Structure 1
Amino acid sequence: MKLLHAIQTHAESYPQTDAFRSQGQSLTYQELWEQSDRAAAAIQKRISGEKKSPILVYGHMEPCMIVSFLGSVKAGHPYIPVDLSIPSERIAKIIESSGAELLINAAGLPIDTDSQQIQTVLAEELLENEGGSVSQDQWVKEHETFYIIYTSGSTGNPKGVQISAANLQSFTDWICADFPVNGGKTFLNQAPFSFDLSVMDLYPCLQSGGTLHCVTKDAVNKPKILFEELKKSGLNVWTSTPSFVQMCLMDPGFSQDLLPDADTFMFCGEVILRIW
């Protein structure tokens, strides 16, 4: 898959470049690639057989979430991002609906799934598999499902939207071709990974060799902390809903002085009204 090969190339060419920053933690491209290799090998040991059941990844913008996403698809399994804000009852419904057999706890926090069909493992445990890797033949490819995002569903029950590797590659190629986002830029990630908005920054960033700078839910809810986080981000590419940037624009501190290097704004998820 072009996306995965691009990340591998960045890991070899620019190994010490940050791929991911969140909550004071960072992950270089070399670390991302090597750790996801180890995670993939560990996943294959835990889930045997030909069944490519999805893997739940539980957390909120921890570096281990991205490692777990890539580890899952390298092992041939789609992943389901599950944010900390999702209630345990809903998680149980997602497990039942998806047929998932493994839950990776990237947050390291207690979680009660109340399900007998799934095994749970801390993300750090997967990384103890020193030197492990899998064949590229095992990677999720073409029309196989790359990830599943669960919506609330019109009936109130969660419904999984399956995105294939080909779908994702087409979308990522479009962003990288039609928007000025290439050249190792720093991207904003503000939406939890369980929301499809996050895909607009995550994978174009990784394919183009950029750095994803995450702003957590706690920061978003506290404007002073949010603006302090934005000021030190070195942000080039802003991605959000229109309503989020409109909230920021209400503060006079949201100006070129705050984000002197920002040159591209991308919006999705809502109707764009007049926000400037």
Structure 2
Amino acid sequence: MNQTTQMIHEDALPGHESELEPKPEWQPRYPGSGRLQDKVAVVTGADSGIGRAVAALFAREGADIAIVYLLEDEDAQETRRIVESEGRRAIVIRADVGSREACDGIVEETLHTFGRIDILINNAGEQHPDKDIADISEEQLRRTFQTNIFSMFFLVQAARPHLKPGAAIVNCTSVTMYKGSKELLDYSSTKGAITAFTRSLSENLVADGIRVNAVAPGPIWTPLNPCGGASKEKLEHFGESTPMGRPGQPNEVAPSFLFLACEDASYMSGQVLHPNGGVIVNG
């Protein structure tokens, strides 16, 4: 078992969606309207949670999907089945997005299969709760930044030569970037980096007709929290601190990604949407 795999399995990450109870709600809530017709989207972390919901909704709107995932083969194949049930094509790519070489391979395989990339959804992430900053090992710190932010640099660098005017990049940041999280110091720090990356990359690419935006979900019921080391007590009250008093579902977040990826958001770049249950973050 290599060092990366050891780190991942320390907290049972990334976790099987098929084993969660209750099951996360990924199903699109309305008929498609062709907003992504014949587009090609790369979606990282697409085997479960928000990534699966995004893949399903994008497929319903007419896109072919490259499903990028880390370890959960069964969940990835289920996402593939979902995409194909919408009448679209899908490929599954097992890869560690924290590796530059792997990100190069993701882009190469997508281009080989579909011939183009129109949308890049940087959604993959990991977290490891720690109550004391002294408990965060150097290995964990490096791994969290590698997965959550280095991956975005690597994938954009690999995809950039193939992104044409009209392309869209949407990154997944978090409410923790805005309000902080005392037990997720390294995770929330990466989310701050992602927001800065989004705004800066937008400035870098907007003149070339490529829009870059982000989504900052609040507490969403996905494998990330129950499999990422959250305590039983925290899970029992997960999402109750939001004004809506409940966690969100992946299919309540996916429409924000769709809006930013399609032409409905043609005059938006460098922005962040906040599906977070009513938390006011002023950012």
| Length-normalised TM-score, structure 1 | 0.30
Question: In terms of Rg, which structure is larger?
Answer: 1
Q: Which has the higher relative contact order, 1 or 2, with Cα contacts under 8 A spaced 6 or more apart?
A: 2
- Say which structure is richer in strand: 1
| Length-normalised TM-score, structure 2 | 0.30
- Say which structure is richer in helix: 2
